Amino acid sequence: TSLFANVEQAPRDPILGLNEQFNADARTTKVNLGVGVYFNDEGRIPLLKAVRNAEVARLEAASARGYLPIDGITGYNQAVQKLLFTESSPLIAEKRLVTAQALGGTGALKIGADYLKRLLPNAKVAISDPSWENHRALFENAGFEVVNYSYYNAATHGIDPEGMLASLNSYPAGTIVVLHACCHNPTGVDLSAEQWAKVVDVIKARGLVPFLDIAYQGFGDGIDADAFAVRQFAASGLSFLVSSSFSKSFSLYGERVGALTIVTANSDETGKVLSQLKRVIRTNYSNPPTHGGTVVATILNTPTLRLEWEDELAEMRDRIRAMRTALVEKLKARGVQRDFSFVLAQRGMFSYSGLTSAQVDALREKHGVYAIGTGRICVAALNNQNIDAVVDAIADVLK
C-alpha cells in the first residue's frame, strides 16, 4: 500500500475556508469582513510609499544576495529594539536585549516557543480566552500544553479583569503567559494602564514568564502608546519575550517581516541566550530572507523614509478609527436599537461585534457580508463604498 494511504484529511483553516467561500460568491455586492488584513478606502492592500521608496533604493544599490547572519540584519534588530523600548532605553545601554529577525510574527512566536521548550520543558502556556487562532496550535506544536486565561467579558464587551487576575494567580511559577500587547485579536479589547499594572504585579509575584505578542504596533493609538505594555514590563525588571510583526504596520504581509526580542537580566545572559536562540534558528531555517528586513531597516533608519512611514501608518490608524465611528453612527441613524458604542473603545483591526453565529450566518447567506462565526469583523476592511451595505445588512439581521 501507499505510504500515504491512511493519511486523514486535516481540518481546513476556518478563516481561509471562509475566504474560499467568499471568492466563489457571485454576488457583486459581497463584502469580506472575515479577513485579517488592512485595506485602504479603495478596498486594496496598500503598497506604502515608504516601502516603494526603500525598494527603489535597494534595486538601485544592486546588492548581492548572500546569506544573512543567523539572527538577521543588525541594523534591523537594533531598529526593532528602539521601536519597542525607545532609543534611550536602559535595556539597550545595559545590553539586556537579544533580538533576532524572524519570519513574521508567527516565525518569531515559533522560534520563541522552540527556545522556551528547551529552557522550560515542563511549563504550560496560557493564552487569552479568546486569542488569535494560531496561538494554541503554535505552542502545542512546539510541545506545550496550552490553557486559557479569562480575558473577555461578552456581557460588557470589555475585559474580565478579576477573572484574568484569578487565572494568572492560579498558575505555578514558570508558566508562560502569552499577552497581546495592543489591539487584541480577535476582540479589539485591550487592558487599561491600571489593568496592565496589576497584571505585571501578579506575573512578577508568581514568577510567570511573559511572552508579549505585538502584531499591530501603531494601529491602535500610535507607535509609543501601543508599546505601553511592553514598556511596563521593561520597567518591572522582569525577563520576558516579545514577538513583533510588521505585516500590518508596513503592509508587507507576504515578505514575512517580524522579530523575536528576549529581555535578559544582564549582558552575560544576553550572549548565552543569543547563542542558544541561534541554534534554534539554524535548525529551523538557517537564516532569514533579505528583502523585507532590508526594506524595514532602511525605512526605520532613514529619517525621511521614517517620517513618510509614520504618516502612512497614522493614515491607516485614522482610517480604521473613522470606520469605527461611521459604523456606530450609521447603525444608530439606521434605527438600530442596540448600542454599538463599545466598538469605539476597541482598538486595532478587529471588533468582536457581539453578533451571534446565527446572525453571522444570516449576514453571509442573505447579504453576502462575510464575518467570522464568533462575531469578529475586520473593521479595516470597511470603506466608504461598502459601509452602507454592511450597516443595512446588520440592521436587517438584528430585526
Provide the minimum distance between the beta carbon of 302 and ligand PMP in the complex, in angstroms, as a whole number: 23
Which one-letter DSSP state was computed for residue 263?
Answer: E
Provide the minimum distance between the beta carbon of 183 and ligand PMP in the complex, in angstroms, as a whole number: 8
Provide the minimum distance between the beta carbon of 336 and ligand PMP in the complex, in angstroms, as a whole number: 29
Tell me, yes or no, if 309 is annotated catalytic: no
- What is the grid cell recorded at 381? 476592511
How large is the angle between the packed helices 104-119 and 267-284, nearest 10 degrees? 110
Judged by CB, which is closer to ligand PMP: 15, or 322?
Answer: 15
Provide the minimum distance between the beta carbon of 346 and ligand PMP in the complex, in angstroms, as a whole number: 14
Judged by CB, which is closer to ligand PMP: 105, or 368?
Answer: 105
Answer whether 299's CB lies under 8 Å from 50's CB.
yes
- What is the grid cell recorded at 95? 545590553
Q: Which residue has the cell 438600530?
A: 336
Answer whether 293's CB lies under 8 Å from 73's CB.
yes
Provide the minimum distance between the beta carbon of 385 and ligand PMP in the complex, in angstroms, as a whole number: 24
Provide the minimum distance between the beta carbon of 234 and ligand PMP in the complex, in angstroms, as a whole number: 20
Answer whether 370's CB lies under 8 Å from 358's CB.
no
- What is the grid cell recorded at 29? 455586492
Judged by CB, which is closer to ligand PMP: 71, or 190?
Answer: 190
List 245's β-bridge partners, or say none: 258
Cα 96 from Cα 239, distance rounded (Å): 9
Tell me, yes or no, if 226 is annotated catalytic: no
Q: Which residue has the cell 511572552?
A: 211
Site residues (vs ligand PMP, CB under 6 A)? 36, 104-106, 132, 180, 185, 213, 215, 245, 247, 258
Which residue in 71, 110, 117, 132 is the catalytic one? Answer: 132
Instruction: Output the CA–CA distances (angstroms, integers) from residue 234 to 167, 204, 241, 244, in the order listed.
Output: 23, 12, 10, 15
Judged by CB, which is closer to ligand PMP: 134, or 150?
Answer: 134
Tell me, yes or no, if 330 is annotated catalytic: no
Judged by CB, which is closer to ligand PMP: 350, or 370?
Answer: 350
Which residue in 117, 248, 278, 330 is the catalytic one? Answer: 248
| Torsion of Cα atoms, 134 then 171 then 201 then 110, to 10° | -30
Q: Tally helices (H) and strands (E) across the chain.
A: 15, 13
Cα 167 from Cα 8, distance rounded (Å): 36
Judged by CB, which is closer to ligand PMP: 57, or 147?
Answer: 147
Judged by CB, which is closer to ligand PMP: 251, or 270?
Answer: 251
Q: Which residue has the cell 501601543?
A: 226
- What is the grid cell recorded at 27? 454576488
Sign of CA dihedral 394, 344, 133, 205: negative
- What string of DSSP letters covers 380-395? GG--TTTHHHHHHHHH
Provide the minimum distance between the beta carbon of 217 and ligand PMP in the complex, in angstroms, as a whole number: 11
Which residue in 71, 190, 213, 226 is the catalytic one? Answer: 213
Active site residues per annotation: 132, 213, 248
